[in-house]
């Protein structure tokens, strides 16, 4: 079951650069794990913004909320999700790699 998510990150101006770098390292590891487990099917940078669009494949809403709220930087993110269904014109449900 697919969801499109848009995540915008806003760090407080006073955040220490090392703290920020540490968040980014943890975020990368968390994100890599989700991708390798087939839960996060894609993540792209929105050009010009500290934001991403990503695709999640989950079994239910409780799982998705646990995943999203588990992001190390969740406290600093605005997340909006859109539920996606199969499109009648789609040849395949997912992207071609």
- Give the interface with its own copies as residue ranges (CB under 8 A): 1-5, 12-13, 27-28, 31-32, 35-36, 38, 41-49, 52-53, 55, 60-62, 64-65, 68-69, 75, 78-92, 94-97
Nearer CB in complex with its own copies: 18/90: 90
- DSSP assignment, residue 5? E
Two structure tokens written together for 20 = 């920020």
72 within 8 A of 28, measured Cβ to Cβ = no
Residue whose structure tokens are 């968040």: 23
Residue 18 or 96 with smaller CB distance to its own copies: 96
- Residue 7's H or E segment, with its range, is strand 2-9
- For the bound state, the minimum distance from the C-beta of residue 22 to its own copies, rounded and expressed in Å, comes to 15
């Amino acid at each position: 079951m697919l969801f499109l998510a848009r995540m915008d990150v806003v760090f407080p101006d006073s955040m220490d650069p090392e703290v920020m770098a540490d968040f980014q390292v943890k975020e990368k590891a968390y994100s890599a794990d989700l991708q390798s487990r087939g839960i996060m099917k894609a993540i792209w940078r929105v050009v010009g913004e500290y934001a991403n669009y990503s695709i999640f494949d989950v079994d239910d809403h409780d799982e998705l909320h646990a995943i999203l709220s588990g992001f190390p930087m969740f406290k600093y993110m605005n997340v909006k999700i859109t539920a996606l269904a199969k499109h009648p014109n789609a040849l395949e449900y997912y992207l071609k790699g």
